[in-house]
């Protein structure tokens, strides 16, 4: 991680935004603030951050969830939601937005920065991994880890970063029943704090996006197996 690591902090509460910015700066990041969804999209397009911290409740037309949706159309930048209430956590998990993590307010800025570093390390490790060859999963589905691309009958399918990682992990462990905990450890990392439902949400997305050809079996009482 260099001093050039840009993080955009999208948060309309100036106290929280300034505090997070302070901690990020202290750790050598280059933070930029945005206090609305509209502003967030501008700043992100301009600064090309390595990570986005994204408040959900924002003034104006575009809330955090909509910002995430728009970013995910063409970007896999890691996104960490800053959520104010449990029902926002449910929305984040339920909407299958492809966020990388979330923290619930009030949060410790120190803990938040630790999470940011962990996510960036994983993203870096993903990018640095030797480019392995494509894996033919049958059913017309090919996953190419080097290109980070999935095709169905030769047509690329847009997956969120975590959906891709989950599929690649299952593909690397074909024929093995993996528990939700094992999948969280392998894909989200052992330091990820969150709910095992997250796995189900991502599996649902994979099934929806890749269709009938995906030989992904629910192993009751355990987790999932890719055949």
Question: In the bound complex, what is the minimum distance in angstroms from residue 30's beta carbon to Ca ion?
Answer: 23
- Among the candidate windows 9-17, 69-77, 85-93, 98-106, which touches Ca ion by CB under 5 A? 9-17
Cα(54)–Cα(11) distance, rounded to whole angstroms?
A: 7
Q: How many CB atoms lie within 10 A of CB 175?
A: 7
Q: Which helix (H) or strand (E) holds 179?
A: strand 177-179
For the chain, how many residues are written?
A: 227
Scanning the structure block, which residue is given the tokens 């080097």?
146
- Among the candidate windows 12-20, 45-53, 196-204, 210-218, which touches Ca ion by CB under 5 A? 12-20
Binding residues for Ca ion restricted to 52-91, rule: CB under 5 A: 55, 57
Q: Which is nearer to Ca ion, 60 or 156 (CB)?
A: 60
Helices marked H in the chain: 14-26, 37-47, 64-72, 86-94, 109-128, 161-172, 180-183, 197-210
Question: In the bound complex, what is the minimum distance in angstroms from residue 14's beta carbon to Ca ion?
Answer: 11
Q: Which is nearer to Ca ion, 57 or 211 (CB)?
A: 57
Among 8, 10, 12, 112, binds Ca ion (CB under 5 A): 12
Q: Which is nearer to Ca ion, 11 or 163 (CB)?
A: 11
- The site for Ca ion, by CB under 5 A, has a size of 3
Question: In the bound complex, what is the minimum distance in angstroms from residue 100's beta carbon to Ca ion?
Answer: 20
Question: In the bound complex, what is the minimum distance in angstroms from residue 84's beta carbon to Ca ion?
Answer: 7
Binding residues for Ca ion restricted to 109-168, rule: CB under 5 A: none
| Burial of 193 per CB tally in 10 Å (0-12, 13-18, 19+) | exposed
Alpha carbon 184 to chain centroid distance? 12
Q: Which is nearer to Ca ion, 12 or 100 (CB)?
A: 12
Instruction: Please tell me whether residue 34 adopts helix, strand or coil conformation.
Output: strand
Q: Would you tell me which residues interact with Ca ion (CB under 5 A)?
A: 12, 55, 57
């Amino acid at each position: 991680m260099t001093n050039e690591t840009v993080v955009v902090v999208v948060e309309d509460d100036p106290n929280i935004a300034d505090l997070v910015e302070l901690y990020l700066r202290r750790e050598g990041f280059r933070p930029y603030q945005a206090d609305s969804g509209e502003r967030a999209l501008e700043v992100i397009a301009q600064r090309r951050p390595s990570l986005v911290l994204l408040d959900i409740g924002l003034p104006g037309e575009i809330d955090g969830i909509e910002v995430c949706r728009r970013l995910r159309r063409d970007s896999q930048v890691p996104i960490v939601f800053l959520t104010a209430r449990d029902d926002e956590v449910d929305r984040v998990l339920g909407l299958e937005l492809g966020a990388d993590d979330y923290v619930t307010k009030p949060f410790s800025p120190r803990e938040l920065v630790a999470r940011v570093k962990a996510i960036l390390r994983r993203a870096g490790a993903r990018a640095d991994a030797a480019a392995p060859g494509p894996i033919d999963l049958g059913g017309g589905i090919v996953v190419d880890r080097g290109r980070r691309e999935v095709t169905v009958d030769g047509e690329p399918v847009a997956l969120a970063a975590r959906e891709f990682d989950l599929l690649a992990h299952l593909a690397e462990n074909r024929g093995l029943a993996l528990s939700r905990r094992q999948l969280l450890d392998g894909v989200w990392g052992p330091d990820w704090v969150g709910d095992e439902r997250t796995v189900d949400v991502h599996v649902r997305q994979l099934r929806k996006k890749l269709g009938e050809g995906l030989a992904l079996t629910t192993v009751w009482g355990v987790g999932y197996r890719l055949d």
